[in-house]
Structure 1
């Protein structure tokens, strides 16, 4: 069996353990064979990469394999290439497949690969399962059984084309944002790329709109400054202080490959991705006059359901993994879709997470509404019943995973909660529905963790329910 297994956000592995040259070539060969079998080798694949250790080299390893199989290959040569830029390029150039060398928000010792399909969508399980099956015989044959062409030769012969699609991607966002409103607002914004790849893109868009921009943590550091490249209240403390100390109107952060976003408001407070989804959906309906449902995953706030109901719309729930969000958006024509982890997309843009576009849209919202971000959120949420989200991540002994899975998903046993239980759902993990909220326990698809999320009207009740679930599972 091939060791490569896709999770909710592509394949991710520890560098030097499973993320190796051999495995990058193995996955590339499987995708090359699929492309050939589908008869689309002449349209081929787009490859891009972030700033992680080995990402640039791994992109060349992959390109060498595609060139060896005769698959038309384009490698994006941009100093800072966000994953959404790669997805946009797949869509814009009408390529059947794309590939990003990134481990997104994972710790620095990880790297990985995200695979995209036609239109710039995250590969669904049909594709990833097929790639896993194709890797098995290739792994048995060894590296000698994988076709390859040295990168310099591939470029010189035209088998690999090096491209720069930065301007087209930036222009596509500028065309969808009210730049005039932003210009008139005269805003000051602090950016924190978290040592990732968003600085050039965000800075270009905001400076074009005459925004005063300060940037922190933008140097190339494959260790991400010693912190997790994921925008959370803990990792954005420096940005929070900067916003307050320098009287910024907003602080914007993105994860390592810029498909997720984190926001610090004018008071220095971290706005949870749940909150961002709510205010953006409300803004698109109330101020821009859009119409349509919203899509969220099982671990994302039900306040979106309340907003949808207020405007006569519907909220759809899907499993964790943005491929499910984008798929349901395409099916229903939803206005916006997102996850509590910070990823979202809006109708009319790419069918995947884009922290760059989301940031630009939030800045537009501030300019159009004409209020600080803190007031905008308070104004919107005051119209609905209060909700508080508690989140806990637990490392566990891998040997216990089958036991926990059996308890929750086979035996359907749950704790005796202090909250009245009204039902359960097993769409993804084990979700318990309460009279005034819900709680879910599920295994992460990108890290060896069990995650528990709970939403209730106040902090104490949500944290108590999380503790009851943790104790029940013996974590």
Structure 2
């Protein structure tokens, strides 16, 4: 069965991620495009550096071509946000990227994009999944890749400069040029190096790069920029005396930052910093959007500027949709993805990293000083994250116990309310909160907690784990 999660379809290579399943998925999407009368608008196909990504992109292209749908085929590993930008720029109704984003190297997958280069919403992926799983392999129509090119059904594209130029045009390069910033870049063996290095060097930054080779095992790490995976980047920033370090996940839609003092900046901090900069440094106005497991410090920034911060379920498609509805300035999530009004309606680690560089340049301060200013103005909130694996039987038990029976621990704190919109979120009267939900991208149960102190946040998360008998 092909099942879509919050970040598309992902499966273990050789198990669920097979040529047959890729072809079935694309046949289902091709049928949908014909049914909706949008097949004549063509589609975009691209891929990242994972094992079998290039081959799977060709398998997908062959099925589109077999259904008479023209494909703009990006014939080099590229960032997922670049593909989203291309779908929007070419006016395609659909597009796809072969990627499993930040998942372990054992996985690969496909992200589906819709009108305007957006992540496909749940109603699209739910109905698409149902249609795909009703198909038989014999119903797949395919045309050989080279034959499809000969027939004009495939146009290959190598350049990514249109996308890069759109970011360059949105930045204050003049201000960046005169700060002569020193930046260490860690693409985590993924696809961000060319894009980030090109833009930052155009802005006259000194750029050093680590972990840039093509390694489908991602150096033995998960290609996810977090405090545990960026120790090498931290060392290089400190050793070289750099102004900051920028890391992106495997397909460059998520961001991780090391500041000038060697501190890991949590994605929550990046989101808050950039929102404050867009409001005060660039004079923008408008609300912010975050998901349910992202810091409420963003709400404090919004309130201080007479704006509102909207909360949505986990999954960037919800953020994009709410941003469009409210004309929000920024939207993001605690896992490292964010976007800004006027750019693509999806996560973009390259654009976000460059905007952060502009912020540092425009401020004339160190990044560590900018965060100290935020805490002095808005206070401090601490978040902890836990991830718990489970067996199939345990998942059923947890699903029933938490989300059907609503069996929650006694937190010994005043609970203001509980939301069951996406998993469970417990809001405390003192402003803290806890979320419990199954991941949409990995087989884990996630528990997030935020409070005024790290001890409080850890105590709340640990209480949930003990109550449910969970082990990390």
TM-score normalised by the chain length of structure 1:
0.98
2:148 paired residue number: 154
1:41 and 2:39 equivalent?
A: yes
Structure 2 distance, partners of 1:238, 1:440, is 31
Q: Unaligned regions of 5+ residues in structure 1, if any?
A: none
> Where does structure 2 lack aligned partners over 5 or more consecutive residues?
none
2:356 is the alignment partner of 1:362: yes
CA distance in 2, matches of 1:296, 1:364: 22
Quote how far apart the aligned CAs of 1:21 are: 0.1
CA distance in 1 between counterparts of 2:225 and 2:293 reads 17
Counterpart position of 2:116: 119
In 2, are the aligned partners of 1:106 and 1:228 still within 8 Å (CA)? yes
Partner of 1:343: 337
User: Is 1:94 aligned with 2:88?
Assistant: no
Report the CA distance between 1:386 and its aligned residue: 1.7
> C-alpha displacement at 1:159, in angstroms?
1.0
Correspondence for 1:437: 432
Partners of 2:405 and 2:134 in 1: CA distance:
36
Q: Deviations over 1:90-137 (max 9, x none)?
A: 011111111000000000000000000010000011211121121133
Checking the alignment, whether the CA contact within 8 Å between 2:2 and 2:133 is kept in structure 1 is no
1:244 and 2:241 aligned: no
Of 391, 404, 409, the residue aligned with 2:403 is 409
Any idea what the Cα deviations from partners look like across 1:263-306, whole Å, max 9, x if unmatched?
00001110000000001001100111100000000000000110
Matches of 1:162 and 1:349, distance apart in 2: 24
Give, in whole Å, the separation in 1 of the partners of 2:412 and 2:189: 43
Decide which moves more: 49-58 or 400-409. 400-409
The answer as to whether partners of 2:289 and 2:332 remain within 8 angstroms in 1 is: yes
Aligned to 1:8: 6
Conservation of the 8 A alpha-carbon contact between 1:44 and 1:71? yes
Give the Cα separation in 1 of the matches to 2:327 and 2:396: 38
1:22 is matched with: 20
Question: In the aligned structure 1, how far is the partner of 2:155 from the partner of 2:372?
Answer: 50
**Among candidates 192, 202, 208, match of residue 198 of structure 1:** 192
Deviation at 1:427, TM superposition (A): 1.8
CA distance in 2: counterparts of 1:230 and 1:418, whole angstroms: 35
Mapped pair 1:473 → 2:468: yes
Alignment size in residue pairs:
469
- 1:311 and 2:309 are equivalent in the alignment: no
3-state DSSP of counterpart to 1:32: helix
Match of 1:227 among 196, 221, 233: 221
In the alignment, which residue of structure 2 is the partner of 1:398? 392
Deviating more after overlay: 83-92 vs 122-131: 122-131
Runs of 4+ in 1 over 3 A off after TM superposition: none
Indicate if the aligned counterparts of 2:233 and 2:258 stay in contact, CA closer than 8 A: yes
Q: Secondary structure of the residue that 1:175 maps to in structure 2? A: helix
2:421 pairs with 1:427: yes
**Is the aligned partner of 1:447 residue 2:442?**
yes
Deviation at 1:385, TM superposition (A): 2.7
Once the two structures are superposed, the pairs formed by residues 29-68 of structure 1 within 5 Å of their partners are 29-68=27-66
Pairwise CA RMSD: 0.9
Write out per-residue CA displacement over residues 406-464 of structure 1, whole angstroms, 9 at most, x where no aligned residue. 22222222101143322211121111111231011111001110110000011111111
Specify which of 98, 103, 107 is matched with residue 104 of structure 2.
107
Write the mapping of 1:280-291 to structure 2, written as runs, cut at 5 A: 280-291=274-285
Aligned counterpart in structure 2 of residue 72 of structure 1, from 49, 70, 75: 70
Deviates more, 1:52-61 or 1:456-465: 456-465
Query: What is the SS of the residue equivalent to 1:383?
Result: helix
Counterparts of 2:375 and 2:114 in 1: how far apart (Å)?
A: 37
CA offsets per residue over residues 114-164 of structure 1, 9 Å max, x none?
0000100000112111211211331xx32x221000111111221111113
Structure 1 range deviating more: 242-251 or 378-387: 378-387
The alpha carbon displacement at 1:165 in A equals 4.4
Contact 1:419 1:465 in 2 (8 A): no
